[in-house]
Chain A
Amino acid sequence: MGRLSAKQALLWSSALALPFALITMLTVALGPVPGVAPQYLFLSAMAVESPATSPAELPAQGWQTVKLRGSIPHSKVRPSSGWFRITIHADAVPDELWAVYFARPFSNLAVFVNGTPVGTSGPMTRPIPMFRQPLIFKFPGSLIRPGANSVVVRSLEAAFLSQLDVAVIGPVAQIEPAYDFEFALSVTYKRIAVVVLCVLGAVFAALSLIRRREIGYAWFALALFGWATHIGNSLVPRAPLMPEILWIFIGSIAMGVFAIATAMFVNHHTQQRQPRIERAMLSFGVAGAAFQILDGLFFKLPLSFFVPLVWLPGLLLVALNSLLQLLRALKRHPGFDIYVLLAGAWLLLVVGMRDMLIETGVLTWGPMYMPYTVGFTLSAISAVLLNRFVRAFDAAERARDELDERVRAKSAELETSLVRMKDLERERALGEERQRILQDMHDGLGSHLVQALAIATSRDALRPLEESLRSCLDELRLMVDSLEPANGDLASVLGSLRPRISRRLTLAGVKINWQVGDLPADPDLGPRKVLDVTRVLQEALTNAIKHSGCDAIAVHTGVDAASGRIEISVTDNGRGMQIDGTGHGISSMRRRTAALGGELTFEDAAPGTRVTLRLPAPVNRNAASGQSPDRAQTQGNLARQS
């Protein structure tokens, strides 16, 4: 799956090692306190451990030379109180204001210049554990004497870590810019960072509560809180509520929480769980934290080795694992969030390793970069995650809108089909009724007519009845035909008319020229319309046969290209009728034409007469199929389908 090849491993480890080397070289080049001239820097001092509270009480014996930033020998005395003495040489009494400045002190400090107290960082009765604020103690130059001067610093620390930062002693004008810069960097920045991280942590904690499935967000929130605690701890000047000793460990435990929670978050986020490794990490975190707390409270063992040699390297392994997990994730499903996470993890690892070298004393005392890197990294990751979250919400909203829309459409569809079904049901009932009537007509009326006809034709006395019986039968057949489903096909309606008139034509010796072509589908072609059309045409044909004296009739259909109107013409070759449009047959034709919304014309065809029935262009109702604006129309449609 996500196995790294040797080449890739080499590539990635050099990506880790090169920046690490660069940042280390930069630290060395900048010196322990950047921005301060070397002559004001003091890297070593004489030190002694003593519970004394003023320089006058200090013992004469037991002093030893220590490198500043290092711990003085371990002591069982707690709180420990370390005394450091730096000797400076002056040629003359300086006019200007001077200062003693510690960029990153680890402890509570009191400073004496030639025995005169020039300031303390706080109440020297109660030690502060992890206070890491730059401290500057200003004093008038008049305190300096020509020759050797002693600057004595008392460092009050909670445990065995009593140590002093590199001391800077010199004119205020030379030192203060560095102090201001350091203050902005380590205090102002950290305050902002703590607020931002806490807010983000709260947001992600809330998100994890909203979306319980995404437990990864809870781990990320924990990481944010962990780091906020880690840097917030160094801003607390006094240790309230708890035994001071615990405050020392809060920083390192918080860092562990950060590292392990981040690792858990990475595993959840990339969906690459590692049950055994996760168990090991969590056990390590809990055991390590418990060990530090218990030791601080009860055993009070000299455990200066634990944090730098066990705890921090362990966390480094955790971070390394997260980095590898992110690389695997990148191979499986690369995404912007994975890139940002990877960049962040990579940066933290480089900076963390470097900071650890300082913590363990391998490197010269220098600024810790971790607090800054972590803050930026976490903010960037938070932004990416929030963006993803918001996009997920957007997508959900869109999906919901889409769903709503579909549900609406479906309901409308259902309603339409319900209406349709009702119509169909009604139509089915109508159809059955019609079928029954047709059956009755066939077996009753129709059969009797046929019998009567048989009688009429068999007896000469009844012959005169034959013609009216035939007319009855023809009439009945037209009605029956009109009840057949026409399916909108007017041409087939005309087709059905033809056999009905063929007997009369044959008897009259009239030939028919049948020119019926395809006609546009007419969805409104119901029984009523069919009957009207066929009656008009039957009448026209009957008139031609009876009155024109023709021997040929042409029936022609066509569509007017401009208006789309359907034209049906009956043309005879007779002598030309004297049609005045008043006869009974003619008025019936006109009435039916009007009902059709059509137009009937009679014209001289020389020879003969042409009767033309023009019908309105069929309405194309294909487009308006969804809604049913006209219930009656819909029923009319369905009527033809049964």
Chain B
Amino acid sequence: MESSTQGRVNVFIVEDHVLTRESLRTRIEAHPKLRVGVAVGSAADGLAALAVARPDVLLADLGLPDGSGIDVIRGAARRYPGLPIMVITVFGNEQRVVGAIQAGASGYLLKDDPAHEIGTAIELLLAGGSPISPAIARHLIRHFQAPPAAPETTGWEPLSARELEVLNLASKGFSYAEIAQLLGLSPNTIASYTKHIYVKLAVGSRSEAVYEALRLGLLPTR
């Protein structure tokens, strides 16, 4: 609504440190097509704002004073399926980012990334691609190669040979463009591969969660 009226992409930030939040706002809005619609500092405020309006992009920190940003991401993903979400992090280290991806995020931004990188990453996200870092790629390879925790779940779809190849190159530090060149494919194709991988991961973790809940007796069995 807002995005259509103003012709700019509405970005929603959940970050508890005021200075960082404002710095991010400045860097995001340095991009001519981006606008920060809402910038809040707690999980509760984030979820409340999400209930009011759908943003075009959600950026969420994880360590919030009243809870985990994971909950915000999960709530947003459930309310607005397909919403591009990125986690904001200091290190971009595996443990934090993978949890966020399983909750529905499609990538991460470093809190001190320069403006142009933030702009590029959001553009890629809006175009349907998912940025992927070497550490995340390495984690995904390991994740998909390990036997599934819940053998009964049907949602566990293994990676295709091509997807594995893309992850392998990404883990070695190659960029989208380089991977595309090495594999003789277009960067868009690579972007859709990574998107696909994230979907598989999220679906897999959802069925694992269901299995786990059934096992613990948290869900009624029929």
Contacts and interface: CB of A to CB of B under 8 A. Distances in A.
Contact of A450 (B111, B114, B133): B111
B182 to A, nearest CB: 10
Given A442-B91, A443-B63, A450 B172 contact: no
A499 B109 CA distance: 12
B19 A514 contact: no
Given A442-B89, A450-B112, A484-B93, A489 B138 contact: yes
Contacts of B8: none
B59 interface: no
B128 to A, nearest CB: 22
B172 A516 contact: yes
B106 interface: no
Interface stretch (A34-42, A326-334, A451-459): A451-459
A492 B171 contact: yes
A480 interface: yes
A496 B97 CA distance: 14
A19 interface: no
A447 B17 contact: yes
Contacts of A480: 91, 93
Interface residues of A, number: 40
Contacts of A358: none
Given A450-B90, A516-B173, A484 B135 contact: yes
B19 A495 contact: no
A435 B91 contact: no
Contacts of B45: none
B29 interface: no
A541 to B, nearest CB: 13
Contacts of A438: 91, 93, 95
Interface in A259-292: none
Given A442-B90, A447-B17, A503-B114, A514 B23 contact: no
Contact of B112 (A453, A499, A514): A453
A642 to B, nearest CB: 11
Interface in A447-487: 447, 449-451, 453-455, 457-458, 470, 473, 476-477, 480-481, 483-485, 487
Interface string A422-454: 000000000000010011011100110111011
A140 to B, nearest CB: 108
Given A457-B23, A484-B135, A496-B134, A514 B173 contact: yes
Contacts of B135: 481, 484, 492, 495-496
Given A491-B171, A499-B133, 6 more contacts: A442-B89, A450-B112, A473-B112, A496-B134, A498-B173, A514-B173
8 contacts: A447-B20, A450-B17, A451-B19, A458-B19, A470-B112, A481-B91, A494-B172, A495-B172
Interface of A: 435, 438-439, 441-443, 446-447, 449-451, 453-455, 457-458, 470, 473, 476-477, 480-481, 483-485, 487, 489, 491-492, 494-499, 503, 506, 514, 516-517
Interface of B: 17, 19-20, 22-23, 26, 63, 89-96, 111-112, 114, 133-135, 137-138, 142, 170-174, 178
- Counting from the closest, the 3 A-B pairs by CB-CB distance are A495-B134, A495-B173, A446-B90
